[in-house]
Structure 1
Amino acid sequence: MKYVIGVDIGTQSTKCLLVGIDGKVHAQASVAYQPETPKPLWAQQDCAVWFDAVCESVRACVAKSGIASPDIAAMCVSSLYGGAGIPVDEAMQPLHPCLIWMDRRATAEVDAVNANVDVARLQAITGNGVDSYHGFTKMLWIREHLPEVWAKTCYFLPPNSYVNWRLTGELAVDHSSAGNIGGVYDAAQRSWSHEALGMLGIPARMMPPRLVESSDVVGGLSAEWAAKLGLAEGMPLMAGGVDAAVATFCAGVTGSGDHVAMIGTSMCWGFVSPTVDARHRLITMPHVYRGADRSYVFGGAITAGAAVTWFRETFCQAEVAEAARTGEDAHALIERKAIEVPPGAEGLVFLPYLMGERSPIWDAQAKGAFIGLSLAHSRAHLYRAVLEGVSFALQHNIEAGRQSGQPLDDRLIVVGGAAHSDLWMQIVADVTGYPVFTIEEEVEAALGAAMLAALGAGLVDAATAERGWVTLAERARPEAAAQAVYRERFEIYKSLYPALRDAMHRLK
């Protein structure tokens, strides 16, 4: 049997899987880290952290598996959305940490684009709007604030492209990563847009010229890195893509209207569509599978699991201490109490805008809030409200997505760390009205990357790719009484941001 390696570079960890072409996982490894947040709304990462994590996790997988290197036929790396990308000079040396998707520092650059550029034309070309989430606004920030970096920049590289270059010496950018940059990629022509780049004042030469499909071979593993990783020289590396789309692909989401919520550090909800339309205020990129005729359209919340982690670390010291004593999970301890709180958290609503917000409100200055607090509310109420608030943000994006006119599948697939929580999955079902299915294998984007490797190497056919290697399990069905509560609360949730927007902006 032949085997493949799938790697996913995430915001807080890199995960590697070694998988047989029957879909069985034979070894896995992960390396944890944290992004740098030196100032409010800033989030960046030294690309060496990512590359070292990839190498460490791959070496560990190969060693654990005991599989001979000639039997490992291909490898693919997916990655977090790298925002601006890694600025590198002519010698391909990194010039500055990568401003990642979480980074919201480019507020002034967004204002300048809105004031000075034909935004309607930009949207028509790219299928995307203007926000500091998008990489092109972060590139403009570098131009304005780091002129010495800008002057030396030869290319901006997505994280997976940089890793592939280090391992093979070949440079290419997959279409999903190119499209997700936003205002520089022509969605119809599937190429860098010289018109859009000219409008923005970004030299076209900074965009790597070779664009490829996610399952295309970028190059063969170099002799140096083959020896260091325990793999065969010349083993092909596929291009990979943006992790949200790769996780969606892993779940077997390849047809129009299939939709998935990836709820990890952030929340991304997306669906497959044959069309590109910026008017629904979501994000559009070519899908990682059959990207020539299928777009991945998505939106999301910047802080999802990050909001839960913030709450635990800030307010749940008692549960954290008990977990340390008993070996139980702190989330499980607080969740047992939150289950007893009725839907709606007895009049408490949480706005999960802890680092501004992405779609559909697109406001880097939005602030988080608990609304409705009283002396009757406990930590359990607040915890449940956090889960409900992120679920309302999910529903807000689903509502925006429906404006595209694309019919959605009658089930919602959820992947990511949130899928470990039975309570959260029930809340999602009740808020969205969809039966919720999760993946039994709990491997998601890394397994999707492995499938792209197998597909690109010709080890699996299209039918296998579309069926996927995962098993879906139904986790929750909507309950009528809770749905009625959440329909009313969701309307309140949507009204709160417009009502509080001016005050949020004045809070510095």
Structure 2
Amino acid sequence: MKDGVVLGIDAGTSSVKTSLFTVQGTLIREMSFPVNVLSPAKDQFEMDVDLLFKELRRVIKEIVVGFENQVQGIGLSVSSPTLIFLDRNQEAIRPGIVYLDNRSIKEVEEGVERFGGTNMYFARVGNNPSPSTCVAATVNWIRSNEPETWNQTVQIGFLNTYLGVKLTGNVAVDPTVSSYSGLMRVRNPYSWESEFLEIFDIDEKYLPEILPSFGKVGVLKGDIASQIGLPAGIPVAIGAADTASTSFALGVHKHGDVFQSMGTSEVITFCLNTPNFSPAFMNRGHVIPGMWLSNGAMSTAGASIQWALKNIFPELSSEKELENLAQSSPRGAKGLVFLPYLCGERSPVFDTRASGMFFGLTINTCKADIMRAVYEGVAYGMQQIYKIGSERWNVSPEYIKCVGGASKSALAIQLRADVLNKQIRTIESSNTAAYGAAMLGAMAAGIYTKIEDVPCIEDYGRVVEPKSDNVSFFEKHSEIYRQLYPNLKELMRVQYGLLNGDILQSE
């Protein structure tokens, strides 16, 4: 019988959740605190990582009370990528730049030209070029626009790099995070690619060592240990990106495993045993060496529901009231179709100029139809992504696990089952990423030496079957959704240009 407890830290862009588990995986207690994402200028999004770490120290000290001498390991889960610049004292020089940031679009385009075009970039790197998958471009933006920052920079890192160095004094990153750097071939996420470093003019001396996600970045330093009420010397795992940490927690370990995360954004993740990547997905190395994760990520899935509540139905007090309203409209929303591209879109189009729309408004359209169309439009988007992945990789899982706040919506879950024609199993745990981080900490401590021995989360809340008549209905009606973007892409570009003062040429 293994004794002791492990600590999982899940640092996201909305909150940081810290959870204490037994080494068998039973939750003991958890605490969280909010994170404020700052927007100092248009298209710029940052977080104060020093404030984050200050609050994290306070929370850890509280959560370990009574277990101070039982903590065996610590693991990290982080939003990704969050770019950090460290000085010679291992302090963050400026706020971290989070994945929502688009300041480096021009630098991305310049890098793509040096690769020989978008298709060549994808073929060589393994991801579409964008600020959120090519932080090398953001490094170049900083070098050009903040020379005082660059002159102080000794190391470039990420959010788990920063937390790891603050806890242990050692600098590292893992392959699930480094995959979004633009400085490696994702098929080989454990080494920086010298050719790509040359293209972006970045010296490898600035970059952290790449460790396995369960690799020990170091042990808890004495000064930090005294501040958080723990003994020095506790092993710390470098950890993983939050989606990858959740994959690990849910047992998404073999080719063909699929899970879905439903929140402000929505992601469907396929586990692959070969790096046969699709350009409709964001691709990364897995926690498990020799495996990969392909993430089909919609930017404003749950955010579309929140947008409707705030801007269309402010008289309603909750998302539950919105759901009840939507359920009073018939399936198909009387022909109304919603395209949920409210902040451009990632998967499957990767177009920052894509925009949302309602198609099919008539004199008979009512409020309930509008809300029903929003729920169905988000579901159609996930169906489109799932079809691309399942056909490319010849994957047909028996069921799909769903996590996240939106998985509590009965309408949303039934729609996912119907449009995907798959059984959906919701996961009750609200801390899957923190759980995965804690178990990575357990591996770094040697409590578990084999990934297959690590306990997985399987506390299903609901098991929802697709309804056969709905499956055929939505298959026909979703075809309209799939035709909207390709037929309106050029008009969206023109509209974007008019709103932003750009002169755009049709491709």
Aligned ranges 1:93-112 → 2 under 5 Å: 93-112=91-110
For residues 221 and 457 of structure 1, the distance between their equivalents in structure 2, rounded to whole angstroms, comes to: 12
Alignment-derived partner of residue 166 in structure 1 = 166
For residues 457 and 277 of structure 2, the distance between their equivalents in structure 1, rounded to whole angstroms, comes to: 32
Report the CA distance shift for 1:49/1:458 in structure 2 as closer, same or farther (over 3 A).
same
For residues 174 and 15 of structure 1, the distance between their equivalents in structure 2, rounded to whole angstroms, comes to: 20
Instruction: Say whether residues 1:274 and 2:273 are aligned partners.
Output: yes
For residues 202 and 434 of structure 1, the distance between their equivalents in structure 2, rounded to whole angstroms, comes to: 45
1:407 to 395, 403, 409: 395
Shift of 1:473: 4.4
1:8 to 3, 7, 10: 10
Alignment-derived partner of residue 30 in structure 1 = 32
Shift of 1:279: 4.2
Instruction: Say whether residues 1:61 and 2:58 are aligned partners.
Output: no
AA in 2 matched with 1:364: T
Aligned ranges 1:333-348 → 2 under 5 Å: 333-348=321-336
Aligned ranges 1:108-507 → 2 under 5 Å: 108-119=106-117, 120=119, 122-134=121-133, 135-185=135-185, 187-188=187-188, 190-208=190-208, 210-288=209-287, 290-291=288-289, 293-320=290-317, 330-460=318-448, 462=450, 465=453, 467-507=455-495
Alignment-derived partner of residue 505 in structure 2 = none
AA in 1 matched with 2:408: H
Report the CA distance shift for 1:463/1:136 in structure 2 as closer, same or farther (over 3 A).
closer
**Residues 336 and 358 in structure 2, CA contact (< 8 A), matched pair in contact too:** yes
Shift of 1:406: 4.4
Shift of 1:155: 2.4
Could you give the per-residue CA deviations for residues 129-170 of structure 1, whole angstroms, max 9, x where no partner exists? Answer: 212321233333334433443343332211111011111111
The percent identity for this pair of structures is: 29
**Residues 11 and 265 in structure 1, CA contact (< 8 A), matched pair in contact too:** no
Alignment-derived partner of residue 502 in structure 2 = none
Could you give the per-residue CA deviations for residues 2-31 of structure 1, whole angstroms, max 9, x where no partner exists? Answer: 100111111211111100112111101111
Alignment-derived partner of residue 19 in structure 1 = 21
Normalised by the length of structure 1, the TM-score is 0.91
Shift of 1:432: 1.2
For residues 176 and 271 of structure 1, the distance between their equivalents in structure 2, rounded to whole angstroms, comes to: 14
- Of 427-436 and 390-399, more deviation after overlay is shown by 390-399
For residues 394 and 53 of structure 2, the distance between their equivalents in structure 1, rounded to whole angstroms, comes to: 38
For residues 378 and 40 of structure 1, the distance between their equivalents in structure 2, rounded to whole angstroms, comes to: 35
**Residues 21 and 460 in structure 1, CA contact (< 8 A), matched pair in contact too:** no
Normalised by the length of structure 2, the TM-score is 0.91
Report the CA distance shift for 1:272/1:278 in structure 2 as closer, same or farther (over 3 A).
closer
Shift of 1:395: 1.9
Shift of 1:459: 2.1
AA in 1 matched with 2:311: T
For residues 33 and 97 of structure 1, the distance between their equivalents in structure 2, rounded to whole angstroms, comes to: 13
**Residues 272 and 293 in structure 2, CA contact (< 8 A), matched pair in contact too:** yes
AA in 2 matched with 1:255: K
For residues 70 and 5 of structure 1, the distance between their equivalents in structure 2, rounded to whole angstroms, comes to: 12
For residues 73 and 194 of structure 2, the distance between their equivalents in structure 1, rounded to whole angstroms, comes to: 34
Report the CA distance shift for 1:163/1:252 in structure 2 as closer, same or farther (over 3 A).
same
Unaligned segments of structure 2, at least 5 residues: 500-507
**C-alpha RMSD of matched pairs (Å):** 2.2
For residues 379 and 36 of structure 1, the distance between their equivalents in structure 2, rounded to whole angstroms, comes to: 34
Report the CA distance shift for 1:160/1:380 in structure 2 as closer, same or farther (over 3 A).
farther
Shift of 1:446: 0.8
**Residues 88 and 95 in structure 1, CA contact (< 8 A), matched pair in contact too:** yes
SS at match of 2:417: helix
SS at match of 1:180: coil
For residues 266 and 484 of structure 1, the distance between their equivalents in structure 2, rounded to whole angstroms, comes to: 27
For residues 491 and 162 of structure 2, the distance between their equivalents in structure 1, rounded to whole angstroms, comes to: 41
Alignment-derived partner of residue 325 in structure 1 = none
Could you give the per-residue CA deviations for residues 282-315 of structure 1, whole angstroms, max 9, x where no partner exists? Answer: 2221111x22x11111121112222222222223
For residues 419 and 42 of structure 2, the distance between their equivalents in structure 1, rounded to whole angstroms, comes to: 31
Report the CA distance shift for 1:70/1:48 in structure 2 as closer, same or farther (over 3 A).
same
AA in 1 matched with 2:137: T
- Of 142-151 and 26-35, more deviation after overlay is shown by 142-151
AA in 2 matched with 1:263: M
SS at match of 2:37: coil
Alignment-derived partner of residue 88 in structure 2 = 90
Shift of 1:464: 5.4
AA in 2 matched with 1:184: M
Alignment-derived partner of residue 327 in structure 1 = none
For residues 44 and 450 of structure 1, the distance between their equivalents in structure 2, rounded to whole angstroms, comes to: 26
**Residues 455 and 465 in structure 1, CA contact (< 8 A), matched pair in contact too:** no
Could you give the per-residue CA deviations for residues 158-198 of structure 1, whole angstroms, max 9, x where no partner exists? Answer: 11110111111111111111112234345337200011121
For residues 56 and 268 of structure 2, the distance between their equivalents in structure 1, rounded to whole angstroms, comes to: 26
Could you give the per-residue CA deviations for residues 213-255 of structure 1, whole angstroms, max 9, x where no partner exists? Answer: 1111111111222122122211111111100111111111111
Report the CA distance shift for 1:259/1:473 in structure 2 as closer, same or farther (over 3 A).
same
Report the CA distance shift for 1:124/1:34 in structure 2 as closer, same or farther (over 3 A).
same
Alignment-derived partner of residue 48 in structure 1 = 50
**Residues 112 and 121 in structure 2, CA contact (< 8 A), matched pair in contact too:** no
Alignment-derived partner of residue 324 in structure 1 = none
**Residues 123 and 278 in structure 1, CA contact (< 8 A), matched pair in contact too:** no
Could you give the per-residue CA deviations for residues 364-414 of structure 1, whole angstroms, max 9, x where no partner exists? Answer: 111222222345434433333222222222222222323532424221111
**Residues 422 and 475 in structure 1, CA contact (< 8 A), matched pair in contact too:** no
For residues 278 and 469 of structure 1, the distance between their equivalents in structure 2, rounded to whole angstroms, comes to: 27
Alignment-derived partner of residue 70 in structure 2 = 71
For residues 140 and 196 of structure 2, the distance between their equivalents in structure 1, rounded to whole angstroms, comes to: 13
For residues 27 and 222 of structure 2, the distance between their equivalents in structure 1, rounded to whole angstroms, comes to: 26
Unaligned segments of structure 1, at least 5 residues: 321-329
For residues 352 and 87 of structure 2, the distance between their equivalents in structure 1, rounded to whole angstroms, comes to: 30
For residues 476 and 182 of structure 1, the distance between their equivalents in structure 2, rounded to whole angstroms, comes to: 39
Matched residue count: 492
Report the CA distance shift for 1:350/1:43 in structure 2 as closer, same or farther (over 3 A).
farther
Shift of 1:361: 0.5
AA in 1 matched with 2:308: F
- Of 380-389 and 348-357, more deviation after overlay is shown by 380-389
**Residues 252 and 258 in structure 2, CA contact (< 8 A), matched pair in contact too:** yes
For residues 403 and 130 of structure 2, the distance between their equivalents in structure 1, rounded to whole angstroms, comes to: 26
